[in-house]
Chains A and B, each alone.
Chain A
Amino acid sequence: MSRKVTHHLPPAMLAQYAAGRLSYAFSVLAAAHVSLCRDCRDQLAAHEAAAGLLLEEAAPAAVSEDLLPRLLARLEEPAAPQDRQVEDGARPSGIYPGPVMMALKGRPPRWWHLGSGIRQALLHHGPGGSLRLLSVPAGRPVPRHTHRGTEFTLVLQGGFHDETGHFSVGDVEVADARLEHTPTADPGEACICLAATDAPLRFSGIVPRLLQPLFRI
């Protein structure tokens, strides 16, 4: 299953994921990449090993005397559905890794047409950023655009290339305000990507900027 991934997450992002410091949108993207990339899975394990060692050596803080008896009394209590989700995560399905299935709440994506055959499914939108799936028909270019903030794009199906290189399944492209690009989907099959941003995307060609807040792209 693990393919050879050539474009990875920035190393600091794995440390931030381990420490629980990423926004929801970025943590879905990071966990999805880790699901597809053996190197980053190993790196995340190394961060957690280091964190675990520092936890072992942390100066202890006294806990209430009744905490252990209260806990022991709860051991056979069945886990609530929310607990099970927190504890188990979600299984992958088709091209979607477990973290994406979780963001999809186990349902197929609800695609919206953006024009030129390009489709988008919004998975999350909040003050910390947005998360969406993008589908671009085989061989089709996405109108030239720039970015506000930082955007990570993880390929889930097919591939694309732009001015900076070629990206296939498992690869992540990091874009910021300095990158103005025209990604073009590979021939063969539609390119489906997961995109996480900490700010709205700025399209120049496809939807007038005035309408962007309405379309939330």
Chain B
Amino acid sequence: MDGAQSADERGTALDSQTRLLLAVRDRRDRAAFAALFAFYAPRLKAMLLRGGAGDALAEDVVQDTMLTVWRKAAQFDPARATASAWIYRIARNRQIDIFRRETRPLPDDAGREEQEKDAFASVALAEQVHRLRAALRQLPAEQRAVLESAYLDGLSHGDIARAKGLPLGTVKSRIRLAMGRLRRLLENSAKP
């Protein structure tokens, strides 16, 4: 494979948000950044409101998150994460910094293996995320709502239990069940 083909292949396999983030990373493209903002800011705000933040606090976290996206774009690696996964992690870091006045410790990269830097790893990741998206769409609505709650709601299971009026143990076991179902859907989609 020559360079042109690999760039082309990556261009078609990657989702549009990831391509926008690469334009920000590689060309400091402000129009691409504004497009990322238009997509993510309202979704991040929705996530933070779900977590119990007021309007102003939610927008503070959104602003800090998107500022970090601009500043740290050079570290984005499409072989390791989609734009959405990367931005989700940044939003959680920012939320913990602002809500709890705590710095969330981040894993270091010392143990990463060389092979992960393969040029086609980003295509392989995009394909896996595509399968994950399909599996999430096949999940029954009730279990999907449980996972939305698990990933998008507040910073404690206690908050979720209170909001839903359920015992904490019930919340945790519902999450476990939904995760199990998702895993089985993924296993089935891996079979030829």
A residues contacting B by CB (< 8 A) are 1-2, 11-12, 15-16, 18-21, 24, 27-28, 31-32, 34-38, 41, 44-56, 58-64, 67-68, 70-72, 74-75, 77, 79, 82-83, 85-92, 97-99, 102-103
Contacts and interface: CB of A to CB of B under 8 A. Distances in A.
Contact of A56 (B45, B66, B84, B97): B84
A83 B68 contact: yes
Contact of B41 (A20, A68, A75): A68
A75 B172 CA distance: 40
Contact of B85 (A51, A70, A74): A51
Contacts of B175: 12, 15
Contacts of B156: 21
Contacts of B106: 31, 88-89, 98-99, 102
B102 interface: yes
Q: Is the interface of B mostly helix, strand, loop or mixed?
A: helix
B79 to A, nearest CB: 11
B105 interface: yes
B172 A79 contact: no
Given A21-B157, A35-B107, A41-B107, A67 B59 contact: yes
Contacts, number: 202
A52 B111 contact: no
A60 B37 CA distance: 12
Interface of B: 17, 30, 33-34, 37-38, 40-47, 49, 58-59, 62-64, 66-68, 70-72, 80-90, 92-97, 102-108, 110-113, 128-129, 132-133, 136, 147-148, 150-153, 155-157, 172, 175-176, 179, 182
B34 A72 contact: yes
For B90, B95, B105, B172, which residue has the most chain A Cβ atoms within 10 angstroms?
Answer: B105
A79 B71 contact: yes
A86 B66 contact: no
Given A16-B157, A50-B132, 19 more contacts: A2-B112, A15-B150, A27-B105, A31-B107, A35-B111, A41-B111, A49-B85, A52-B81, A52-B88, A53-B133, A53-B136, A55-B84, A55-B152, A56-B43, A60-B43, A61-B49, A71-B66, A87-B93, A98-B107
B152 A54 contact: yes
A102 B41 CA distance: 29
A209 to B, nearest CB: 30
Q: Is the interface of A mostly helix, strand, loop or mixed?
A: helix
A78 to B, nearest CB: 9
Nearest to A37: B111
B169 to A, nearest CB: 13
A52 B71 contact: no
30 contacts: A12-B172, A18-B92, A20-B92, A38-B111, A41-B107, A49-B129, A52-B82, A52-B87, A53-B129, A53-B132, A54-B147, A58-B46, A58-B152, A60-B46, A61-B43, A61-B45, A68-B34, A68-B37, A71-B66, A72-B34, A75-B30, A83-B68, A83-B71, A86-B68, A87-B72, A87-B93, A89-B107, A89-B108, A90-B108, A98-B110
- Nearest first, the 4 closest Cβ-Cβ pairs linking A and B are A52-B84, A98-B108, A60-B42, A89-B106
Nearest to A12: B176
A71 B34 CA distance: 10
A190 B157 CA distance: 38
A45 B172 contact: no
Given A63-B41, A85-B103, A45 B148 contact: no
